[in-house]
Structure 1
Amino acid sequence: MTAMPALGDLLRDLAPQVLGALSRRHGQFDACEDAVQEALLAAIRRWPTGGVPEQPRAWLHTVATRALVDGWRADSARRRREAQVALDPADRAPVADDDALVLLFLCCHPVLSPPSQLALTLRAVGGLTTAEVAAAFLVPEDTMSQRIRRAKQRIRDAGARFTMPPPAERVGRLAVVLHVLYLIFNEGYTASAGPSLHRTDLTAEAIRLSRLLHRLLPGEPEVAGLLALMLLTHARRAARAAGDGSIVPLADQDRSRWDHTAIADGQALLTRTLGTGPIGPYQIQAAIAALHDEATTAEQTDWPQILALYSLLAEVNPGPVVTLSRAVALAMVHGPTAGLALLGTLGADERMAHTHRLEAVRAHLLELSGDLPAARDGYLRAARMTASLPEQRYLTRRAAQLRGS
């Protein structure tokens, strides 16, 4: 037995490798995924007391294969297949790195809804248990179990095989994979609900999977751009909250607490990437994040360049969230009235009806313009719209401070 490493990290690394090997050998992604989950639960029960086996991946592979055989034994229609597997030793071939890439593409199959893609990616590729995925989405474990089961059923019904999609589909599917990783990171960086501002388990997992994707597809500029964006953004995490957990806005953060190693890594990755292929939204957002990180003080932020990049982003990837961020940059360059005018174009956009961010940004720009009563009302409206307790407290406090101004 080997010394006990960080068990959770080890299992998250091994789970997609074992699942990839089983799926490549036997097909039946849904059955293989269930078998791997059984093996992971067995490891969680046994390894803390008995120690990690000398070959932990082989151990998981063997236990998962036995679980597959047990499942086939229960189905009389598969007895012949069971006999064939029983006579053939378990596949001990090294797991190909490409297996993890195939898993990512499979979990982001277009027949699945975005929430199902997120959940299946976290469980099958991220190695999280159903309970952990359920906690990430703030739903009961039974609900998440049913969602994952339906997702695997839809993949099976679609006739998907454990292979990379054909080249004609790959570009579009890669965009979905990147979007899923982007959403996982965003939910971890600013949790949409609950008592904590961050979900470090999700941000760490998104970065880990993006590193893996970049290693497997080093020539894809947008893959590198997404990884750079995550590193440059996550570098500020330690300074985003005060000791009591309250939110610290970017302009007020102690920049000495930023992770400057991560910033340097993100900047180097972005420098190597820009100009190597078509510019995409993740590269542009990474460039914006780099400009924020390069400023030693809030006053030194290059807002004109940031505004130019947001204008480019609005051409490449238009949408209300981009417009929202562009309005802030516009206000910083040309004054809050200009920013408020741009925000006015979002009033009828139904996509912004269920988020507090439009009200929060409008309140901020109203405060900058000197209209404190309207700003206070806006902060309070935004506070009522968010399910995040740290954001509720921050917005309510901002409103209270303006009441006394």
Structure 2
Amino acid sequence: MPERHVEDLLRRLAPQVLGALVRRYGHFDTAEDAVQEALLAAATGWPEEGVPESPRGWLITVASRRLTDLLRAERARRHREESVARWTPPDGWLAPAADRPASDSDDTLILLFLCCHPALSPASQIALTLRAVGGLTSTEIARAFLVPEATMTRRISRAKRQIRASGVPFGMPPAAERAARLDAVLHVLYLVFNEGYVSTSGPTLYRTELSGEAIRLARLLQRLLPKDAEVAGLLALMLLTDARRPARTGPDGALVPMAEQDRSRWNAEQITEGVALVSAALRTGPTGQYQLQAAIAALHDEAPSAEATDWPQIVALYEVLLRIATNPVVALNHAVAVAMARGPRAGLELLDRLADDGRIAGDHRMYAVRAHLLERAGETAAARAAYETAARRATGLAQQRYLNGRAARLG
């Protein structure tokens, strides 16, 4: 199997294997170390030796053995040789995945709620889940949070220690506690999806293994909580956004902006499902941020052309969203919608108000939006300079190429 396929397979299996180990033995941080070593062994061996018949079972076996070694070493350091000698794993612990009954959530969803334990701060909940369940690197998570990488690394390490110290059993939390963790779980899935749909680093624009996993987990969550309007809203948002993916790049892999996309290539089944989900969710309420974002996505997807988009309605939805979500990215998108509905100058005025927001002021998206609006306003030289600045600040190669191309087109 090619290395790229092995990498994709390991990324999908990693949270399932970690969940299986934490369920059996606890020791969240040590289990993650063991899983990482098993993944490394697979990444170096499988491309040449072939993928085993049960790759999940193979990884659980190797990671369990390594976990045993790590736990024994830890106990030895604590002078508990006698306890270690008597410690044996439970019967059947090496059974491959195919020989065990599989739950619908394959432990990944339980791992998701574990990472959102109330002992952790909201920021730590999200960071740990992105690391353990989403498979993102500390660098990618830091970019998602708009914080320095060193800060994020410390946050993740501290969260692992708190999970270990909490002694919480591995299992789905009771209904009341589950509700308290749900906001963090939804935010985590939202960030994982976004990282997959617009990759912050690397040569490609998107990483389908991440966006696909986020959609899979959102489906599991919606099955668990079918009456929760925000869960349905998030799943709808993902489906409606992902439906455009086939048209987002040209034959050469270059980014194609939405206004120039071939809408016949959008996934009609996903659009139909997403529209039905958000329509039902908005009727049941209360209305939350994911439902509003899904409603905005639905207006884009249902428009027969870019020119026919209902921008005034999108502006109105963003203004409702801004009242419940103080997010600079939402404010940036609102500025774009206002520019499309009322002209580029109106949008540029809103951008000026965001200039002092340290969370996004230096982000490449601010410069890219400014460049686009300046171009629409006829300020070619200023637009070219803004595109060039945006390209320098972008970390994804696809975005860099697109932005440099827009700058070059302006002479």
- TM-score, length basis structure 2: 0.79
C-alpha separation in 2, matches of 1:400 and 1:203: 31
SS at match of 1:392: helix
CA-atom RMSD in angstroms: 3.7
Percent sequence identity is 58
Q: CA deviation at 1:275?
A: 1.8
Stretches of structure 2 that go unaligned for 5 or more consecutive residues are 144-150
Q: CA deviation at 1:197?
A: 1.8
1:3 counterpart residue number? none
1:227 partnered with 2:235: yes
Distance 1:166 1:81, change over 3 A: farther
1:289-300 to 2 correspondences below 5 Å? 289-300=297-308
SS at match of 2:307: helix
Distance 1:199 1:61, change over 3 A: closer
**Cα pair 1:214 1:223 within 8 Å, conserved:** yes
338, 350, 362: which one aligns with 2:346 = 338
C-alpha separation in 2, matches of 1:144 and 1:34: 18
168, 175, 182: which one aligns with 2:190 = 182
Distance 1:313 1:80, change over 3 A: same
User: How many equivalent pairs are there?
Assistant: 390
Which stretch of the first structure deviates more once superposed, 40-49 or 230-239? 40-49
**Cα pair 2:289 2:325 within 8 Å, conserved:** yes
SS at match of 1:103: helix
1:30 partnered with 2:29: yes
2:324 counterpart residue number? 316
**Cα pair 1:336 1:366 within 8 Å, conserved:** yes
277, 283, 286: which one aligns with 1:275 = 283
Amino acid aligned to 2:356: A
1:105 partnered with 2:113: yes
1:83 partnered with 2:86: yes
1:165-244 to 2 correspondences below 5 Å? 165=173, 170-244=178-252
Amino acid aligned to 1:286: A
C-alpha separation in 1, matches of 2:269 and 2:348: 37
Q: CA deviation at 1:240?
A: 1.4
Q: CA deviation at 1:85?
A: 4.0
Distance 1:91 1:174, change over 3 A: farther
Q: CA deviation at 1:122?
A: 5.2
C-alpha separation in 2, matches of 1:242 and 1:56: 34
Deviations, residues 262-293 of structure 1 (Å, cap 9, x unaligned) = 22222222233222231111111111111111
**Cα pair 2:237 2:297 within 8 Å, conserved:** yes
Distance 1:8 1:342, change over 3 A: closer
Distance 1:82 1:269, change over 3 A: farther
Which stretch of the first structure deviates more once superposed, 149-158 or 347-356? 149-158
Distance 1:153 1:362, change over 3 A: same
Distance 1:115 1:318, change over 3 A: closer
**Cα pair 2:38 2:63 within 8 Å, conserved:** yes
C-alpha separation in 2, matches of 1:14 and 1:243: 30
SS at match of 1:323: helix
**Cα pair 2:229 2:285 within 8 Å, conserved:** yes
Stretches of structure 1 that go unaligned for 5 or more consecutive residues are 1-5
Amino acid aligned to 2:241: T
Amino acid aligned to 1:205: E
Amino acid aligned to 1:256: S
**Cα pair 2:289 2:321 within 8 Å, conserved:** yes
